[in-house]
Amino acid sequence: MLTIGLEATRANKDMRTGTEWYAWHILQQLKKIDRENKYIVYYNQTLNPELAEGPANFYFQQLKWRYRKFWTHIRLGKELRKNPVDIFLATNAVPFLMKQGKIVVTIHDLGFYVNPQLYHPLERIYQNISHKLAIRQADKIIAISEATKQDIIKYFPKAENKIKVIYDGWNSQDFVPSNKENKDKILYKFDLPENFILYTGRLESKKNIQCLIKAFKLLNTNWSLVLAGRAGNYGYKEIEALAKDPEIKDRVILLSYVSQKYYTSLVAAANIYAFPTKFEGFGITVLEAMGSGVPVACSDLSVLHEVGGKAAVFFDPDNPQDMAGQLQKLIDKPDLREELSKKGIEQAKKFSWEKCAQETLDYMLDDSIDKKE
């Protein structure tokens, strides 16, 4: 029996997006699939009751920390030096100076290396330092896509032999096609029109919301654009200003963050899901939309081709005219939307959190790779 350490700070956040949902689902799936090894789950703030539930081989330990940053690096690092584990599974950040035990780290993306202009300078500095330490300290690295793997190799070539691609999943139980009754309820709840294009996620420059709004202004339609997500760290004021354009302000709807209670129904109610991101490590929301039977139009990025396959239409994220052209095509062609809906449901079946967690566990326990940069 091995002792495996996990940190629950990301999974424990109230408003979760990509990396937080990854941490949540990996923890919850490991509870189901591994009853042989001992797990210690470390956290800072009061733990979500759902996370705190677990089988007898899961133990939960609070490590209080008064500061906003560096809990994983310093406070958890101090604990693991005092009471080491056999394996520590980290997401992006790893504890400083672990003297014993192997480190397995999941790298979600290196966007701050590839497109540094999309990040706030302070965030860029923090992420650069954190990821550099994580990749160099790790015994094994999980990349959530082939595109992310190639980025790691580009910037950290010595790490190539310790990287494995393990795709993210999506919650197939909650994201399902809608019926008219459920759609009417969610439209009433948020006072939405019958036909709308939906984007979900942080509202920031990295996600390219500015270009999406510009493309929307070019459309020949009375449909609305619904932007559901919390304000990001960079570019939100510009997004607000574009959304107030007199020509479209009545049809651009900013919903802020939508809780999971309503989020799944909102996705399923959309007529089109748009994902205009400039850079991505994976694209969980694309799978959620596909699994919900919603046709997807997304950026022409290699990683989104990995996720979407032939079940989406792709546009140039830097070209509002091209983006508008693909969206207009979907608006004008109900048969194409229906075709993509069917293809998307089948494409999404290739991914799951169960598969992701099992492959992660197998990789953690595999002794054939034990190399540090």
- What does DSSP say about strands 272-275 and 296-299: parallel, antiparallel, or unpaired? parallel
Q: What's the rounded mean pLDDT across residues 213-228? A: 96
CB 309 within 8 A of CB 355: no
CB 38 within 8 A of CB 118: no
Which helix (H) or strand (E) covers residue 103, if one does?
A: strand 102-107
Same fold, 3-169+353-365 and 180-348: yes
| CA-closest candidate to residue 167, choices 10, 9, 358, 301 | 358
- For tokens 């700070």, what's the residue? 9
Task: Give the tens place of pLDDT for each residue, 7-46.
Answer: 988 888 877 777 888 999 999 999 999 999 999 999 998 8
Distance CA 152, CA 163 (A): 9
What tokens were used for 182? 């459920």
Structural Rg of the chain based on CA atoms = 21
CATH (one of 3.40.50.1580, 3.40.50.2000, 2.60.120.10, 3.40.50.970) for 3-169+353-365: 3.40.50.2000
Task: Give the tens place of pLDDT for each residue, 134-152.
Answer: 898 899 999 999 999 999 9
27-42 CB burial, b ≥16 within 10 A, e <16: bbbbbeebeebbbbbb
Distance CA 66, CA 81 (A): 20
Give the contacts of 139 (CB within 8 A, at least 6 positions apart).
102, 103, 104, 162, 369, 370, 371, 372
Answer yes or no: is pLDDT of 100 > 90: no
Q: What percent of the chain has pLDDT over 90?
A: 69
Which helix (H) or strand (E) covers residue 275, if one does?
A: strand 272-275
* Model pLDDT, residue 67: 77
* Model pLDDT, residue 370: 54
Alpha helical stretches, state H, 98-165: 111-114, 121-137, 146-155
Q: What's the rounded mean pLDDT across residues 247-264? A: 92
Q: What's the rounded mean pLDDT across residues 45-70? A: 89
Task: Give the tens place of pLDDT for each residue, 341-354.
Answer: 999 999 999 999 99
Answer yes or no: is pLDDT of 369 > 80: no
* Model pLDDT, residue 356: 97
Distance CA 237, CA 116 (A): 19
Q: What is the fold of 180-348?
A: Rossmann fold (3.40.50)
pTM: 0.89
| CA-closest candidate to residue 59, choices 81, 83, 42 | 42
Mean pLDDT for all residues in the chain: 91
Q: What percent of the chain has pLDDT over 70?
A: 98
What confidence tier does 332 reach under pLDDT thresholds 50, 70, 90? very high
Higher pLDDT, 248 or 109: 248
* Model pLDDT, residue 113: 82
Q: Could you tell me the residue ranges of all domains in the chain? A: 3-169+353-365, 180-348
Least confident of 33-37, 128-132, 319-323: 128-132
What confidence tier does 4 reach under pLDDT thresholds 50, 70, 90? very high
Distance CA 291, CA 311 (A): 11
| CA-closest candidate to residue 268, choices 350, 185, 178, 202 | 178
